[in-house]
Structure 1
Amino acid sequence: YMVATVGRLLVAVAGYMGNIPLMLAFTALAALGQGPWQGDMNAVIASCSEYSWLTKHKHVDGIMYSCTSLGVKIGGGLGTAIVGLLLDFSGFKGTLTVQPDSAINMLHIMYLIVPFALDLIITLILSKMNVEKANAEIKEKLGISENEVVMESQN
Protein backbone atom coordinates (compact mmCIF):
# COMPACT_ATOMS: atom_id res chain seq x y z
CA TYR A 1 0.00 0.00 0.00
CA MET A 2 3.00 2.29 0.28
CA VAL A 3 3.26 2.07 -3.52
CA ALA A 4 -0.42 3.02 -3.76
CA THR A 5 0.10 6.00 -1.46
CA VAL A 6 3.07 7.27 -3.46
CA GLY A 7 1.11 6.68 -6.67
CA ARG A 8 -1.83 8.72 -5.35
CA LEU A 9 0.49 11.53 -4.27
CA LEU A 10 1.93 11.59 -7.79
CA VAL A 11 -1.60 11.58 -9.27
CA ALA A 12 -2.31 14.73 -7.23
CA VAL A 13 0.91 16.39 -8.40
CA ALA A 14 0.18 15.51 -12.03
CA GLY A 15 -3.42 16.71 -11.59
CA TYR A 16 -2.34 20.12 -10.36
CA MET A 17 0.12 20.25 -13.28
CA GLY A 18 -2.80 19.50 -15.60
CA ASN A 19 -1.07 16.46 -17.11
CA ILE A 20 -3.81 13.90 -17.77
CA PRO A 21 -1.57 11.15 -19.29
CA LEU A 22 0.72 11.35 -16.25
CA MET A 23 -2.33 11.18 -13.96
CA LEU A 24 -3.44 8.00 -15.71
CA ALA A 25 0.03 6.46 -15.45
CA PHE A 26 0.24 7.22 -11.72
CA THR A 27 -3.32 5.94 -11.22
CA ALA A 28 -2.15 2.64 -12.70
CA LEU A 29 0.80 2.66 -10.28
CA ALA A 30 -1.57 3.29 -7.36
CA ALA A 31 -3.82 0.45 -8.51
CA LEU A 32 -0.81 -1.90 -8.60
CA GLY A 33 -0.09 -0.93 -5.01
CA GLN A 34 -3.69 -1.55 -3.94
CA GLY A 35 -4.03 -4.88 -5.72
CA PRO A 36 -2.21 -7.09 -3.21
CA TRP A 37 -4.39 -5.90 -0.33
CA GLN A 38 -7.53 -6.70 -2.30
CA GLY A 39 -6.23 -10.24 -2.72
CA ASP A 40 -5.08 -10.54 0.89
CA MET A 41 -8.16 -9.06 2.54
CA ASN A 42 -10.02 -12.39 2.78
CA ALA A 43 -6.95 -14.06 4.27
CA VAL A 44 -6.72 -11.32 6.90
CA ILE A 45 -10.42 -11.76 7.72
CA ALA A 46 -9.73 -15.47 8.22
CA SER A 47 -6.77 -14.64 10.48
CA CYS A 48 -8.95 -12.29 12.53
CA SER A 49 -11.53 -15.05 12.85
CA GLU A 50 -8.80 -17.45 13.96
CA TYR A 51 -7.71 -14.90 16.57
CA SER A 52 -11.30 -14.79 17.88
CA TRP A 53 -11.29 -18.58 18.16
CA LEU A 54 -7.90 -18.67 19.88
CA THR A 55 -8.82 -15.96 22.41
CA LYS A 56 -12.58 -16.35 22.94
CA HIS A 57 -13.28 -19.86 21.59
CA LYS A 58 -16.00 -18.43 19.34
CA HIS A 59 -16.31 -19.07 15.60
CA VAL A 60 -17.12 -15.79 13.88
CA ASP A 61 -16.10 -16.56 10.30
CA GLY A 62 -19.55 -16.11 8.78
CA ILE A 63 -20.37 -12.88 10.57
CA MET A 64 -16.96 -11.39 9.74
CA TYR A 65 -17.37 -12.07 6.02
CA SER A 66 -20.97 -10.83 6.12
CA CYS A 67 -19.97 -7.62 7.90
CA THR A 68 -17.18 -7.04 5.40
CA SER A 69 -19.58 -7.51 2.50
CA LEU A 70 -22.17 -5.22 4.09
CA GLY A 71 -19.51 -2.60 4.82
CA VAL A 72 -18.40 -2.57 1.20
CA LYS A 73 -21.98 -2.11 0.02
CA ILE A 74 -22.80 0.63 2.53
CA GLY A 75 -19.49 2.37 1.89
CA GLY A 76 -20.07 2.35 -1.87
CA GLY A 77 -23.56 3.78 -1.45
CA LEU A 78 -22.50 6.45 1.03
CA GLY A 79 -19.44 7.35 -1.03
CA THR A 80 -21.57 7.89 -4.12
CA ALA A 81 -24.12 9.97 -2.20
CA ILE A 82 -21.44 12.11 -0.56
CA VAL A 83 -19.78 12.82 -3.91
CA GLY A 84 -23.12 13.98 -5.33
CA LEU A 85 -23.84 16.16 -2.32
CA LEU A 86 -20.39 17.75 -2.36
CA LEU A 87 -20.63 18.47 -6.08
CA ASP A 88 -24.08 20.01 -5.60
CA PHE A 89 -22.82 22.05 -2.63
CA SER A 90 -19.90 23.36 -4.72
CA GLY A 91 -22.18 24.63 -7.48
CA PHE A 92 -21.43 21.94 -10.05
CA LYS A 93 -24.00 21.87 -12.86
CA GLY A 94 -23.71 19.10 -15.44
CA THR A 95 -25.29 21.25 -18.15
CA LEU A 96 -22.75 24.08 -17.89
CA THR A 97 -19.96 24.24 -20.46
CA VAL A 98 -17.66 25.93 -17.95
CA GLN A 99 -17.95 25.00 -14.29
CA PRO A 100 -17.52 27.59 -11.52
CA ASP A 101 -14.17 27.73 -9.71
CA SER A 102 -15.82 26.34 -6.57
CA ALA A 103 -16.81 23.19 -8.47
CA ILE A 104 -13.32 22.81 -9.96
CA ASN A 105 -11.79 23.18 -6.50
CA MET A 106 -14.17 20.54 -5.14
CA LEU A 107 -13.22 18.18 -7.97
CA HIS A 108 -9.55 18.69 -7.12
CA ILE A 109 -10.21 17.92 -3.47
CA MET A 110 -12.37 14.86 -4.18
CA TYR A 111 -10.23 13.28 -6.88
CA LEU A 112 -6.71 14.40 -5.98
CA ILE A 113 -6.51 15.08 -2.22
CA VAL A 114 -9.05 12.67 -0.66
CA PRO A 115 -7.78 9.49 -2.41
CA PHE A 116 -4.21 10.28 -1.32
CA ALA A 117 -5.33 10.96 2.26
CA LEU A 118 -7.34 7.72 2.39
CA ASP A 119 -4.44 5.69 0.98
CA LEU A 120 -2.13 7.26 3.57
CA ILE A 121 -4.54 6.38 6.39
CA ILE A 122 -4.95 2.81 5.09
CA THR A 123 -1.16 2.45 4.82
CA LEU A 124 -0.75 3.54 8.45
CA ILE A 125 -3.49 1.15 9.64
CA LEU A 126 -2.07 -1.78 7.69
CA SER A 127 1.44 -1.08 9.00
CA LYS A 128 0.15 -1.44 12.58
CA MET A 129 -1.91 -4.57 11.94
CA ASN A 130 -0.34 -7.62 13.58
CA VAL A 131 -3.01 -10.31 13.70
CA GLU A 132 -0.78 -12.98 12.13
CA LYS A 133 1.98 -12.30 14.67
CA ALA A 134 -0.55 -12.32 17.52
CA ASN A 135 -1.96 -15.66 16.32
CA ALA A 136 1.53 -17.18 16.13
CA GLU A 137 2.31 -16.01 19.68
CA ILE A 138 -0.94 -17.43 21.04
CA LYS A 139 -0.39 -20.75 19.25
CA GLU A 140 3.12 -20.93 20.68
CA LYS A 141 1.77 -20.35 24.20
CA LEU A 142 -0.87 -23.03 23.66
CA GLY A 143 1.63 -25.48 22.15
CA ILE A 144 -0.13 -25.58 18.78
CA SER A 145 2.06 -25.86 15.68
CA GLU A 146 1.85 -22.98 13.21
CA ASN A 147 0.37 -25.20 10.49
CA GLU A 148 -2.10 -26.95 12.76
CA VAL A 149 -5.73 -26.05 12.16
CA VAL A 150 -7.57 -25.12 15.31
CA MET A 151 -10.95 -26.86 15.37
CA GLU A 152 -13.74 -26.67 17.90
CA SER A 153 -14.36 -29.96 19.68
CA GLN A 154 -17.61 -31.71 18.82
CA ASN A 155 -18.72 -32.11 22.48
Structure 2
Amino acid sequence: MTPEPGIRLRAANPADDGFVIEMARHACVIEDWPLPAPDDDEVLELLPPPGVVPIIAEDQGGVPVGAVWTYHSDPPLRTDADGAPLPELCIGVAPGRRGAGVGGLLLDALFARLAGTVATMCTNVHVRNPAQRLYERKGFRVVGQGNGPLGVAMLKDLR
Protein backbone atom coordinates (compact mmCIF):
# COMPACT_ATOMS: atom_id res chain seq x y z
CA MET A 1 0.00 0.00 0.00
CA THR A 2 1.30 3.44 -0.91
CA PRO A 3 1.09 5.87 1.99
CA GLU A 4 -1.08 8.94 1.68
CA PRO A 5 0.74 11.80 -0.05
CA GLY A 6 2.69 14.28 2.00
CA ILE A 7 3.51 12.02 4.96
CA ARG A 8 6.90 12.97 6.37
CA LEU A 9 8.94 11.02 8.92
CA ARG A 10 11.13 12.61 11.55
CA ALA A 11 12.71 11.89 14.90
CA ALA A 12 10.56 12.73 17.90
CA ASN A 13 11.46 15.71 20.04
CA PRO A 14 10.32 16.71 23.56
CA ALA A 15 7.29 18.52 22.12
CA ASP A 16 6.05 15.10 20.90
CA ASP A 17 5.94 13.51 24.38
CA GLY A 18 2.15 13.88 24.71
CA PHE A 19 1.59 12.43 21.24
CA VAL A 20 3.88 9.46 22.00
CA ILE A 21 1.86 8.75 25.15
CA GLU A 22 -1.34 8.98 23.10
CA MET A 23 0.03 6.47 20.56
CA ALA A 24 1.05 4.13 23.42
CA ARG A 25 -2.54 4.36 24.71
CA HIS A 26 -3.83 3.32 21.29
CA ALA A 27 -1.25 0.51 21.09
CA CYS A 28 -2.68 -0.96 24.33
CA VAL A 29 -6.19 -1.64 23.10
CA ILE A 30 -8.32 -3.04 20.32
CA GLU A 31 -9.98 -0.29 18.29
CA ASP A 32 -13.44 -0.52 19.86
CA TRP A 33 -12.28 -0.65 23.48
CA PRO A 34 -11.92 2.44 25.70
CA LEU A 35 -8.42 3.90 25.90
CA PRO A 36 -6.53 3.44 29.17
CA ALA A 37 -5.49 6.48 31.17
CA PRO A 38 -2.16 8.05 30.20
CA ASP A 39 -0.67 6.94 33.54
CA ASP A 40 -1.98 3.35 33.32
CA ASP A 41 0.78 0.80 34.01
CA GLU A 42 0.23 -0.84 30.62
CA VAL A 43 0.74 2.49 28.84
CA LEU A 44 3.80 3.37 30.92
CA GLU A 45 5.44 0.02 30.09
CA LEU A 46 5.12 0.74 26.36
CA LEU A 47 6.81 4.15 26.48
CA PRO A 48 10.24 4.42 24.88
CA PRO A 49 13.09 3.85 27.33
CA PRO A 50 15.94 6.35 27.68
CA GLY A 51 18.00 6.46 24.49
CA VAL A 52 15.17 5.31 22.22
CA VAL A 53 13.83 8.10 20.03
CA PRO A 54 10.45 7.39 18.41
CA ILE A 55 9.92 8.00 14.72
CA ILE A 56 7.00 10.35 14.11
CA ALA A 57 4.87 10.43 10.95
CA GLU A 58 3.25 13.77 10.25
CA ASP A 59 0.92 15.00 7.54
CA GLN A 60 1.46 17.91 5.15
CA GLY A 61 0.28 20.34 7.81
CA GLY A 62 2.83 19.07 10.33
CA VAL A 63 0.20 17.26 12.42
CA PRO A 64 1.53 14.00 13.92
CA VAL A 65 -0.45 10.99 12.65
CA GLY A 66 1.62 8.04 13.92
CA ALA A 67 4.67 6.94 15.85
CA VAL A 68 6.86 3.86 16.22
CA TRP A 69 9.65 2.78 18.61
CA THR A 70 10.97 -0.21 20.52
CA TYR A 71 10.88 -0.95 24.23
CA HIS A 72 11.52 -3.89 26.57
CA SER A 73 8.76 -5.39 28.70
CA ASP A 74 9.24 -7.09 32.04
CA PRO A 75 9.09 -10.01 31.79
CA PRO A 76 10.22 -9.98 28.17
CA LEU A 77 7.87 -11.25 25.48
CA ARG A 78 10.73 -13.18 23.85
CA THR A 79 14.49 -13.60 24.39
CA ASP A 80 17.34 -14.48 22.06
CA ALA A 81 19.39 -17.69 22.24
CA ASP A 82 21.55 -16.14 24.98
CA GLY A 83 18.54 -15.15 27.08
CA ALA A 84 18.71 -11.41 26.29
CA PRO A 85 15.30 -9.73 25.88
CA LEU A 86 14.36 -8.90 22.32
CA PRO A 87 13.26 -5.35 21.56
CA GLU A 88 9.49 -5.11 21.23
CA LEU A 89 7.56 -3.07 18.71
CA CYS A 90 5.26 -0.26 19.76
CA ILE A 91 3.39 1.45 16.96
CA GLY A 92 0.35 3.68 16.90
CA VAL A 93 -1.50 5.42 14.10
CA ALA A 94 -4.12 8.03 14.88
CA PRO A 95 -7.73 6.95 14.41
CA GLY A 96 -8.98 8.15 11.06
CA ARG A 97 -5.50 7.78 9.55
CA ARG A 98 -5.33 3.98 9.75
CA GLY A 99 -5.38 1.90 6.59
CA ALA A 100 -3.68 4.64 4.55
CA GLY A 101 -0.12 3.25 4.60
CA VAL A 102 1.19 5.26 7.56
CA GLY A 103 1.88 2.14 9.66
CA GLY A 104 3.81 0.45 6.85
CA LEU A 105 5.90 3.57 6.30
CA LEU A 106 6.69 3.76 10.01
CA LEU A 107 7.63 0.07 10.16
CA ASP A 108 9.96 0.36 7.16
CA ALA A 109 11.70 3.33 8.79
CA LEU A 110 12.09 1.46 12.08
CA PHE A 111 13.51 -1.61 10.33
CA ALA A 112 16.01 0.59 8.47
CA ARG A 113 17.04 2.28 11.73
CA LEU A 114 17.56 -1.05 13.53
CA ALA A 115 19.30 -2.87 10.65
CA GLY A 116 22.87 -3.75 11.52
CA THR A 117 22.35 -3.30 15.27
CA VAL A 118 19.38 -5.56 16.02
CA ALA A 119 19.08 -9.09 14.62
CA THR A 120 15.53 -9.88 15.74
CA MET A 121 12.62 -7.99 17.24
CA CYS A 122 9.20 -9.07 18.45
CA THR A 123 5.71 -7.85 19.05
CA ASN A 124 2.58 -8.91 20.87
CA VAL A 125 -0.68 -8.48 19.02
CA HIS A 126 -4.25 -9.25 20.05
CA VAL A 127 -5.86 -11.93 17.87
CA ARG A 128 -8.57 -9.42 16.83
CA ASN A 129 -6.14 -6.65 15.92
CA PRO A 130 -6.22 -6.05 12.14
CA ALA A 131 -2.60 -4.81 12.36
CA GLN A 132 -1.50 -8.46 12.51
CA ARG A 133 -1.94 -8.62 8.72
CA LEU A 134 0.32 -5.58 8.29
CA TYR A 135 2.95 -7.16 10.52
CA GLU A 136 2.84 -10.36 8.47
CA ARG A 137 3.21 -8.39 5.21
CA LYS A 138 6.24 -6.68 6.73
CA GLY A 139 7.94 -9.98 7.61
CA PHE A 140 6.79 -10.80 11.14
CA ARG A 141 5.86 -14.42 11.71
CA VAL A 142 3.70 -15.93 14.45
CA VAL A 143 5.83 -17.84 16.96
CA GLY A 144 3.29 -18.72 19.64
CA GLN A 145 1.37 -17.42 22.59
CA GLY A 146 1.79 -13.77 23.41
CA ASN A 147 0.68 -11.81 26.46
CA GLY A 148 -2.70 -12.82 27.82
CA PRO A 149 -5.04 -15.50 26.52
CA LEU A 150 -5.69 -13.62 23.24
CA GLY A 151 -2.13 -12.41 22.60
CA VAL A 152 -0.05 -13.62 19.68
CA ALA A 153 3.76 -13.36 19.76
CA MET A 154 5.41 -12.47 16.46
CA LEU A 155 9.10 -12.24 15.46
CA LYS A 156 10.85 -10.30 12.70
CA ASP A 157 14.37 -11.07 11.54
CA LEU A 158 16.21 -7.89 10.59
CA ARG A 159 19.34 -9.52 9.16
Structure 1 and Structure 2 fold alike (TM over 0.5): no
- Name the structure with the higher strand share: 2
Structure with greater helix share of residues: 1
Give TM-score scaled by structure 2 length: 0.22
Bigger CA radius of gyration: 1
TM-score by length of 1: 0.22
